[in-house]
Amino acid sequence: MKIKFKKLIDDAIIPFYATSGSVGFDICSSHQLMLAPEGRGMVHTGLAVQIPENTELTVRQRSGISTNFPNYISIGIGTIDFDYRGEILVPVVNNNPFDNFKIEKGMRIAQCILSPIIRAEFEVVENLEKTKRGEGGFGSTGK
């Protein structure tokens, strides 16, 4: 399956799979960004994308960011719909209350996963089928 990328700036980095077994492909920052303590920002990638119809691209945090910068940087999860043609932007938060966090140009900032989409039809009903779990919510399966 092909994903088409358009470089919005000449030196934008085309995404890549880090290994042959990687599920997600890495996307990189196209600009440097300094996040103040507890600051928020949007990382530019310098790329626009065209994905196949009936797919979506999920943008999420790389495990390397989670382990190398624990409790510092959070990458916002996002969905890119197949009809979006704007720049891929990655929301970031610096969770550190004391130190700046510098995102370097070319830094692998997030990963993307392409997934098929099943469109649902919605139906209003009076009752739902009963299950063993029922209305048990958060934490109920661990009791």
pLDDT at 70 (0 to 100):
62
Domain spans, the chain: 4-119
For residue 134, what pLDDT band results from cuts at 50, 70 and 90? confident
The helix (H) or strand (E) run that includes residue 63 is helix 63-68
Query: What's the predicted TM-score (pTM) here?
Result: 0.82
The most confident of the ranges 64-68, 89-93, 133-137 is 89-93
Indicate if the pLDDT at residue 71 is higher than 90. no
Q: Measured between alpha carbons, how far is residue 68 from residues 36, 76, 77, 89, 113 in Å?
A: 19, 17, 18, 22, 21
* 4-119 topology per CATH: Deoxyuridine 5'-Triphosphate Nucleotidohydrolase; Chain A (2.70.40)
What's at 76, amino acid-wise?
G
Q: What is the average pLDDT across 40-50?
A: 96
Residues ≥6 apart with Cβ < 8 Å to 54: 82, 116, 117, 119
- The answer to whether the CB of 90 falls within 8 A of the CB of 42 is yes
Q: If pLDDT is split at 50, 70 and 90, which confidence band does 1 have? A: confident
Is 28 exposed, middle or buried (CB count within 10 Å of its CB: 0-12, 13-18, 19+)? buried
* Confidence (pLDDT) at 141: 67
SS3 label, residue 56: strand
